[in-house]
């Protein structure tokens, strides 16, 4: 009788031999603890390759201080696959202020320090040390968003493409199922990795521009590192070609050759998505993990219904990663996943979420996208909506009705983002009514982000009046249903374009509506977004007009503090901000005042060092790990993590 294959990928040579293997086709190195669940990229790639007949060995969160841990499974037959994990490792380690985070949700028991800074680079270098000459493929969010020469907030400079810093052969960007299978097939056929240069959704290094076959030429690394206008020019060209149908190859000169970026891979169809989510995921941590992995708590009984987002918010990297074309799983695929929940003894009857990047996007923005691609210079929905936008939410309503009627399901929540401006464009209120009646538990989280229309335009979000209309409709439906539920708005402070006056305006609005936010997101410049391009260059890349940027730690802290005037420890900093903005009228005991007066002398210790508009304090050079593979993470594992 043939031996039954273990449920999890092998992590030791003994487990390889239990599968009848002396050598794995691929060895996958991951910065996350291994969770065999479709919400984790390493698990998806592993299961897809296994389904195609390849063997994959796993080395999760290896000790990167030497190459020894990277030899645990021996030499892979075809290639090393390297990912930093579900998050960029620098975002995982550092808050926007530069403080090291003290937890890591993707590690057993939330312990910090199990991966290095710039994990993709460090892991790749250790793979080279362990087994020289083995093809090396990097992927995941960190690699995807750093595929071009990019501004790095933590170093406060433009870095090379991560493909160069990691000395890798191929970079897979976006959702990698198609690309990884094509790479595997080419390697199995004996094709040298240096000749695998044309797969959509990949970047490679070439030595000669003639190898690029008429690719669009981007400003070089040297140009974008020295000239912020050139940086903007490069970003806009990259954004225009981010489409699987009409996108062109891009060529960016680097100091030792050329980065060649192929067009994005085509999004998976509904049938293909269904096949991926039907793979035999155990939905559990690897048996070697005895504790809890916090990231799994959020998704254990949640369902991903779609991929892609045509919202295209400027501060969001999703467009640069998953793309603007939305594809959805079939109802039956999703219902089968929910039926699996009911069989799990840990399931208490509550589906925590049914959504995706944007919960109420379940189809392409318009019919022509699938044939002609997304428009290069037009938005589907942003500050305003395209007249061709398909605003129907009927399919999502039908799906939610089916889910909540399943035996064993008590409640189906929608907790991923709901695009309120899109919901308002629907021809009737069915979705909103049923969302409020059946899928909200007291609070609905939405993301107006700000109240200043000028700032919202820089964010590519709708005007504040649209949010006000949504609030009115939300309240009216609740009154009609006899329910009392609340909106919880997500807000961003110090986004490019936002001044202290804008932060004060937002603070006054929050006081008027009596909302006291528990969390406020201070704008975090991460690779691959238009907002980060604005932060670095001080220019709107689409108009090349100057944009105000809060650069110092002090002003960023002031803007954030203004959004939480109810927190007493913020008062000294808020008073200082109000005085700088000539708004001392808002300090006092009156109804419209933001903070009470304080007659005590305020000291320099009441706020971070720096002065708005003065010297730039943002360069804290956290974990500047170059090709040596060294890392500033302490051996005692002291680092921190939090929400992006």
Residue spans of the domains in the chain: they are 13-199, 301-441, 444-460+479-623
Task: Say whether pLDDT at 606 is over 70.
Answer: no
Q: Are 66 and 629 in contact (CB under 8 A)?
A: no
Full-model pTM: 0.90
Which two three-digit tokens encode residue 122? 């460090």
> Residue 55: how many CA atoms within 13 Å on its side-chain side?
21
136 three-state secondary structure: strand
- Alpha-carbon gap, residue 630 to 525, rounded angstroms: 24
Per residue in 26-38, pLDDT tens?
999 999 999 999 9
Residue 242 banded pLDDT, cuts 50, 70, 90: very high
Residue 602: pLDDT above 90? no
Q: Give burial (CB, 10 Å; 0-12/13-18/19+) of 3.
A: exposed
What pLDDT shows up at residue 298? 85
Residue 206 has pLDDT above 50, yes or no: yes
Looking at the predicted structure, is the pLDDT value of residue 616 above 80? no
Predicted confidence band at 340 (pLDDT cuts at 50, 70, 90)?
very high
Mean pLDDT (whole number) for 550-577: 95
Quick: pLDDT tens for 370-420.
889 999 989 999 999 999 999 999 999 999 999 999 999 999 999 988 999
**Least confident piece of the model among 80-89, 329-338, 467-476, 613-622:** 613-622
Number of H helices, E strands in the chain: 23, 20
CA 543, 231, 257 angle in degrees (round to 5)? 145
480-486 average pLDDT score: 93
Q: What is the pLDDT of residue 189?
A: 98
For 192, the 3-state DSSP assignment is: coil
CA distance 468 to 414: 21
Angle subtended at Cα 438 by Cα 435 and Cα 444, rounded to the nearest 5 degrees:
50
Which whole number is the average pLDDT over 630-639?
33
Between CA 171 and CA 193 the distance in angstroms is: 12
Per residue in 188-203, pLDDT tens?
Answer: 999 999 999 999 999 9
**Mean predicted confidence (pLDDT) in 624-634:** 34
What value, to the nearest 5°, has the Cα angle with vertex 237 and ends 235 and 242?
95
The mean of the pLDDT values for the chain is 91
| pLDDT tier for residue 179 given thresholds of 50, 70 and 90 | very high
3-state helix, strand, coil in the chain (%, to 5): 35, 15, 50
Phi, psi of 149 (to 5 degrees): -55, 130
**CATH architecture entry for 301-441:** 2-Layer Sandwich (3.30)
CATH number of the domain located at residue range(s) 13-199 in this protein: 3.40.50.280
Rounded Cα gap, residues 643 and 620, in angstroms: 20
Band (598; pLDDT cuts 50, 70, 90): confident
What percentage of the chain carries pLDDT values higher than 90?
Answer: 85
Residue 7: pLDDT band with limits 50, 70, 90: confident
* Choice among 72-81, 157-166, 568-577, 599-608 with the minimum mean pLDDT: 599-608
625 pLDDT above the threshold of 80: no
**Cα angle at 465 between 425 and 581, to 5 degrees?**
150
């Amino acid at each position: 009788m043939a031996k039954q294959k273990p449920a999890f990928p092998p992590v030791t040579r003994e487990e390889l031999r239990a599968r009848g293997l002396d050598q794995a086709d691929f060895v996958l190195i991951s910065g996350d603890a291994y969770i065999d669940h479709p919400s984790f990229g390493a698990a998806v790639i592993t299961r897809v390759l296994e389904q195609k007949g390849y063997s994959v060995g796993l080395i999760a969160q290896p000790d990167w201080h030497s190459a020894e841990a990277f030899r645990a499974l021996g030499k892979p037959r075809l290639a090393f696959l390297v990912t930093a994990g579900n998050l960029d490792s620098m975002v995982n380690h550092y808050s926007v202020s530069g403080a090291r985070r003290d937890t890591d949700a993707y590690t057993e028991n939330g312990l910090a320090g199990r991966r290095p800074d710039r994990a993709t680079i460090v892991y790749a270098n250790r793979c080279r040390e362990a087994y020289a000459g083995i093809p090396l493929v990097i992927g995941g969010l960190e690699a995807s968003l750093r595929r071009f020469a990019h501004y790095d907030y933590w170093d406060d400079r433009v870095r090379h493409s991560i493909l160069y810093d990691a000395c890798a052969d191929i970079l897979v960007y976006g959702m990698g199922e198609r690309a990884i299978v094509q790479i595997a097939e080419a390697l199995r056929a004996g094709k040298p990795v240096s000749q695998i240069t044309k797969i959509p959704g990949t970047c490679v290094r070439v030595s000669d521009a003639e190898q690029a076959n008429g690719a669009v030429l981007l400003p070089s690394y040297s140009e974008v590192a020295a000239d912020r206008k050139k940086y903007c020019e490069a970003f806009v060209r990259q954004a225009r070609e981010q489409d699987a149908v009409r996108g062109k190859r891009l060529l960016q000169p680097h100091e030792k050759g050329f980065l060649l970026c192929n067009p994005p891979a085509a999004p998976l169809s509904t049938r293909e998505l269904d096949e991926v989510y039907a793979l035999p995921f155990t939905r559990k941590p690897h048996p070697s993990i005895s504790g809890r992995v916090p990231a799994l708590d959020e998704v254990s009984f949640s369902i991903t219904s779609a991929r892609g987002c045509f919202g295209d918010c400027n501060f969001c990297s999703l467009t640069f990663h998953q793309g603007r074309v939305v594809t959805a799983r079939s109802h039956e695929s999703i219902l089968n996943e929910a039926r699996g929940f009911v069989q799990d003894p840990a399931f208490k009857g509550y589906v925590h979420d049914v959504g995706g990047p944007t919960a109420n996007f379940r189809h392409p923005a318009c019919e022509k996208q699938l044939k002609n691609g997304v428009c290069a210079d037009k938005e589907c929905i942003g500050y305003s909506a395209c007249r061709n936008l398909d605003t129907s939410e009927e399919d999502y309503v039908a799906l939610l009705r089916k889910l909540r009627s399943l035996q064993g399901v008590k409640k189906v929540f929608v907790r991923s983002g709901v695009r309120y401006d899109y919901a308002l464009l629907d021809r009737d209120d069915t979705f909103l009514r049923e969302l409020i009646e059946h899928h909200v538990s007291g609070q609905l989280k939405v993301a107006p982000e700000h109240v200043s229309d000028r700032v919202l335009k820089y964010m590519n979000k709708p005007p504040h009046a649209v949010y006000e209309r949504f609030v009115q409709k939300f309240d009216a439906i609740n009154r009609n249903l006899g329910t009392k539920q609340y909106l919880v708005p997500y807000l961003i402070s110090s986004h490019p374009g936002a001044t202290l006056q804008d932060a004060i305006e937002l603070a006054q609005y929050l006081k008027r509506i009596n909302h006291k936010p528990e969390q406020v997101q201070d704008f975090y410049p991460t690779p691959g977004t238009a907002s980060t391009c604005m932060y670095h260059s001080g220019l709107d890349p689409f108009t090349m007009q100057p944009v105000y940027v809060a650069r110092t730690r002090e002003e960023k802290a002031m803007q954030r503090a203004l959004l939480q005037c109810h927190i007493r420890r913020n008062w000294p900093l808020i008073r200082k901000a109000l005085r700088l903005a000539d708004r001392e009228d808002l300090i006092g005991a009156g109804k419209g005042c933001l903070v009470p007066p304080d007659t005590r002398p305020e000291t320099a210790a009441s706020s971070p060092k720096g002065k708005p508009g003065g010297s730039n304090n943002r360069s804290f050079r956290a974990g500047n790990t170059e090709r040596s593979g060294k890392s500033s993470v302490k051996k005692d594992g002291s680092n921190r993590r939090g929400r992006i």
